[in-house]
Amino acid sequence: MFGNLRSTIMSLMIGSYASSAVTFPGIKVIYDFGVSFIVIMYTWAGLACLVFLNCYVNWPLQAFPDPEEASYV
């Protein structure tokens, strides 16, 4: 469906579903402890930058094989 970006799209979808359940309750708990909203958002932005840096550094050199090309023998 997405060609060469198949594994990237699937990873993004799985990651977004896995983390979305605890995101906003976690931010509310941190805010209720007295941390300012600006500090929370700057921290969030910094962590997002680290995620993109991680994606760049750990990019695979070879593409994952398509299901049709995989050989389990």
Residue 71 counted as domain residue: no
Residue 69 counted as domain residue: no
pLDDT per residue as tens digits for the range 16-34: 777 777 888 889 999 999 9
Per the structure, the count of domains in the chain is 1
Rg (CA), the chain: 18
Residue 45 counted as domain residue: yes
Q: In the structure, what pLDDT confidence band is assigned to residue 68 with cuts at 50, 70 and 90?
A: confident
Provide the angle, in degrees to the nearest 10, between the axes of the packed helices 6-32 and 37-57: 160
Q: Domain of 30?
A: 23-58
0.85 surpassed by pTM: no
Query: Would you state the structure tokens that stand for residue 41, as one six-digit string?
Result: 């958002």
pLDDT per residue as tens digits for the range 24-67: 888 999 999 999 999 999 999 999 999 999 988 988 888 777 77
